[in-house]
Amino acid sequence: MKRVAICAVAQHEIKGNIWYKRFQDMLLDILEDLQGETGFTFGGENGVKNVLTCSDDFFDARTISDNAVNDVVGAANYRGEQKMAQEGLNGIGYAMADILSGHDDVIYFAGHCKESLSASRNQIANMAYDPFYCRCLGMDYLNAAGLQARAYMEKTKITPEQLAQVVVRARQWASRNTYANEKTQLNLGDVMYSSVLCDPIRSLHAYPVSDGAVAMLLASEERAYEFTDNPIWITGFGNCMDDYFMGRRDLAASSALKKAAEQAYKMAGIKQPRKSVNLMEVMDCYAYQQPMWLEGLGLCDEGKGGDFINEYGPAKYNVNLSGGMLAGRPLMIGGLYGVAEAVLQLKGQANEHQAADVNCAVIQSTTGGAGQFQTVVVLER
């Protein structure tokens, strides 16, 4: 089978409020970084002819949000452009399909999200819900996560100490990552007694408000070496949707994630993820989600997320050495930051947070309340 490579990645530094730049300015910065690293151009015989973007209409406060960034992603001068109006990780599958179909051989992919543009990102997430029942009750992703956290904690008996460990560890790794947002170091008590946001979720269980942008260059196997000496291969991709209506879902079971992971592992030829995978980037917007998603990904037994933490599972599988969402990544492109981190790890370029002997990385992301939609990507060197 033909292969598709991620040649290089560029990450904008993540901050809580990048008030001094428009998101267009941020996109131009990472475009220049990526062009500097790979030498790719637009147009001409060998230039990029098709661009992929990821952004959100509500976060950007305009409909068809990709139209407003076309110049800074190289699409304005009569090139093709498509927007991934879903969590950015799905764009990896989209770009892969575009290249495998033979339609394109090089794709420039850039995503952005500034959560700080809105007075509260919960106002945006509230718009994800129906205007009849849930929106008027104040339902948003935080509330949905509160419901899920309670269900998951009751099922697994995971303790507040174990959840606090997840957050403390995230901040420790974030301190080594140039691009991470929140690097303030914490102890268990800081997390366990932080103010309650939405019971049982406390403020330090939740990811910090974040602005960021990520870009990457993808290419066919034939062309990848024009841009890099060590391409990273996309070997698995899967996604799966759960019900919009939370009342119908088993919130404590990662049903959609299991399906998405099954697809991705099958495509990558992975039969036993615990033996094959040695780096994980999961989208842990809230502390309980890290063990929960790892259960869904098959890295730990169902309902045993707490034991997994006690047994140093996150260290064993190199989970979120970037700091992950808990150290601050914007919604919509959290998964793309995960890809960027995994690519650097696989290339051996993760500097102070580099893990040893990484050759197979799994990236998971989610959108919708309480992990409604799930995406899994497998990358190998």
Q: Is 131 in the site for another protein (CB under 8 A)?
A: yes
Q: Which residue has the tokens 């403390």?
A: 168
Least Å from the CB of residue 127 to another protein:
7
Residue (68 or 188) nearer to another protein, CB:
68
Q: Which residue has the tokens 């009751």?
A: 154
Residue 85 DSSP label? -
Which range, of 124-132, 283-291, 308-316, 347-355, touches another protein by CB under 8 A? Answer: 124-132
Answer for the pair 290, 338: CB distance below 8 angstroms, yes or no: no
Per CB under 8 A, the list member of 14, 52, 124, 377 interacting with another protein is 124
Least Å from the CB of residue 76 to another protein:
4
How far is it, in rounded angstroms, from Cα 331 to Cα 371? 12
Q: Is 216 in the site for another protein (CB under 8 A)?
A: no
Residue (127 or 315) nearer to another protein, CB:
127
Per CB under 8 A, the list member of 2, 19, 203, 315 interacting with another protein is 19
Answer for the pair 218, 24: CB distance below 8 angstroms, yes or no: no
Please state the separation of Cα 92 from the chain's center in Å.
11
Residues 6+ apart with CB under 8 A from 119: none
Answer for the pair 380, 268: CB distance below 8 angstroms, yes or no: yes
Residue (123 or 178) nearer to another protein, CB:
123
Least Å from the CB of residue 29 to another protein:
9
Residue (74 or 371) nearer to another protein, CB:
74
Residue 26 φ/ψ, nearest 5 degrees:
-65, -40
Q: Is 10 in the site for another protein (CB under 8 A)?
A: no
Residue 225 DSSP label? T
Q: Which x/- pattern over 77-116 shows residues binding another protein (rule: CB under 8 A)?
A: x--------------------------------------x
Helix, coil or strand: residue 197: strand
How far is it, in rounded angstroms, from Cα 27 to Cα 128? 25
Residue (75 or 147) nearer to another protein, CB:
75
Residue (66 or 284) nearer to another protein, CB:
66
Per CB under 8 A, the list member of 76, 192, 267, 355 interacting with another protein is 76
DSSP string, 128-186: TS-TTTTGGGT--HHHHHHHHHHHHHHHH---HHHHHHHHHHHHHHHTT-TT-S-----
Query: CA angle, corner 328, sides to 324 and 331, nearest 5?
Result: 90
Residue (41 or 310) nearer to another protein, CB:
41
Least Å from the CB of residue 131 to another protein:
5
Least Å from the CB of residue 43 to another protein:
9
Cβ-count burial 227-263 (b if 16+ within 10 Å, e if not): bbeebbbbbbbbbbebeeebeebebbbbbbbbbbbeb
Residue 49: exposure state from Cβ atoms within 10 A (0-12, 13-18, ≥19): buried
Residue (23 or 173) nearer to another protein, CB:
23
Site for another protein in 43-72 (CB under 8 A): 58, 61, 70-72
Q: Is 176 in the site for another protein (CB under 8 A)?
A: no
Q: Is 22 in the site for another protein (CB under 8 A)?
A: yes
- Strand-pair category, 50-54 with 80-84: parallel
Least Å from the CB of residue 31 to another protein:
8
Per CB under 8 A, the list member of 3, 13, 16, 24 interacting with another protein is 24
Q: Is 330 in the site for another protein (CB under 8 A)?
A: no
Binding-site ranges for another protein (CB under 8 A): 18-22, 24-25, 28, 31-32, 42, 58, 61, 70-72, 74, 76-77, 116-120, 123-124, 127, 131-132, 135
